[in-house]
Amino acid sequence: MREPPTTMGMSEVCDIREACCVESSGVKDRLVGLARDETLKVLAPKPFKRELLEAIAGEDCEALDVKEEDDSIQVTVKKKEATQSQEQERKMENCMVCGGSLQYLAESVEATCIYCGKSERGYIICPKGHYVCQLCHGKGAFDAIRDLALSTGERDPLAIAEVMMSHPSVPMLGCENAWIASAALVAALKNQGSLKITEKQIVEAMERTKDQALTGYCGLTGVCGVAVGVGAVFSVILDAGCPKDTETEVTMRAVARTVDAIANDTGPCCCKSYVRTAMVLGCNLAKVHLKARLIPHLEKVSCLYVRRHPHGCRASRCQYLPKRPEIPRLGRA
Ligand code: SF4
Ligand SMILES: [Zn+2]
Ligand SMILES: [Zn+2]
């Protein structure tokens, strides 16, 4: 195996002049990891030109400049800007970019977001090198969920969650569903009226959930963002905090109960199932700890996401499986 190509200081030069071919030179790894605001100069033997330009195009990059000198070429490379149509064509089930199956890693790797160019460590990547950061993954969803939470008059958190989950900006899987858990539950409690919940508290519960609901952590630590969302609602209403007593205890127990309940829905994880289970449980917890009565109409739920589950729907093992043949799928393909 060859050593990885060298990069030198600020100029970011990748020298593959000693490589035997582009494929084995390691330059593709550099292209995959290239941030959108970065440029890379690739030095390569002249006969590599065609293969190198193909590799550049294949990794969603463009050659800004190609210089030929004696036996070698120097190509200046930049990541292509995400076009408006790429943004609009985000896939909502698997890889947002290409729609292919994602890899769930046991150890994080350094990855660069295809949309904003931010580099960070991540656990979920596309084998084709596409990586989408949490911020870009949830683009548009937070505002849409918040606006629905602030405008609904519905008192059933399940019904509110169904509307939110069907919004086109909400992916099939991902922590956007955790934001829904907090938003739907706290909005229903506000509409129920006995607790005098404010709009500010709705947004606060969502913000706290956003801070602690992290992609893939349902499996990585066992604490799913949906449970965090329920905890955030209780914490905001009870005004829990480190120095507090019962308020924090109740909040923690609400989270623990939610984790325990959704653990019954695993194999594989399904964010839609977790949200629904958490909403029903949230109603029970609200009755016991907040003396607020919410009625979840579970009989009205008939899952519309069966064919969209990238890991495979739990089918007859899931209580939300439609009793009748599924009606046409909602939202994007
Ligand atoms: S029926 Fe399938 S897709 Fe729907 S909630 Fe259950 S596991 Fe998820
Ligand atoms: Zn992909
Ligand atoms: Zn991003």
Q: Does the Cβ of 164 fall within 6 Å of ligand 1?
A: no
Q: What is the pLDDT, as a whole number, of residue 78?
A: 87
pLDDT score for 332: 42
What average pLDDT does the segment 109-117 reach? Answer: 92
**In the predicted model, what is the mean pLDDT of residues 213-223?**
96
**Closest C-alpha to ligand 1, atom 5:** 273
Going by alpha carbons, the residue nearest to atom 1 of ligand 1 is: 321
pLDDT in tens, 128-174: 999 999 999 999 999 999 999 999 999 999 999 999 999 999 999 99
pLDDT in tens, 237-265: 999 999 999 999 999 999 999 999 999 99
Quick check: CB of 274 below 6 Å from ligand 1? no
Q: Note the pTM of the prediction, 2 decimals.
A: 0.75
pLDDT of residue 39: 87
Res. 3 pLDDT band, cuts 50 70 90:
very low
Give the SS3 label for residue 123: strand
> Does ligand 1 lie within 6 Å of residue 314's CB atom?
yes
- 299-333: pLDDT as tens digits: 999 999 999 999 999 999 999 999 865 555 544 43
Coil vs helix vs strand at 104: strand
Give residue 180's pLDDT: 98
Helix axes 225-238, 271-285, angle to 10 degrees: 30
Q: How far is the CA of 182 from the centre of ligand 3 (A)?
A: 23
CB of 318 sitting under 6 A from ligand 1: yes
Percent of the chain with pLDDT over 70: 90
| Atom of ligand 1 lying closest to residue 314 CA | 7
Give pLDDT, residue 10: 47
* CATH class of the domain whose range is 9-79: alpha beta
CA 322 to chain CA centroid, nearest Å: 26
Q: Name residues whose C-beta falls within 8 Å of residue 73's C-beta, 6 or more positions apart in sequence.
A: 43, 44, 45, 46, 48, 49, 52, 66, 67
- The answer, yes or no, to whether residue 221 has pLDDT greater than 90, is yes
In the structure, how many helices (H) and strands (E) does the chain have? 13, 6
Asked whether 279 and 301 are in contact (CB, 8 A), the reply is: no
Cα(57) to centroid(ligand 3), Å: 21
Nearest C-alpha neighbor of 142 from the set 180, 109, 172: 180
Give percent of the chain above pLDDT 90: 77
**CATH 3.30.110.40 occupies which residues in the chain?**
9-79
Instruction: Check if the beta carbon of residue 251 is closer than 8 Å to that of residue 227.
Output: no
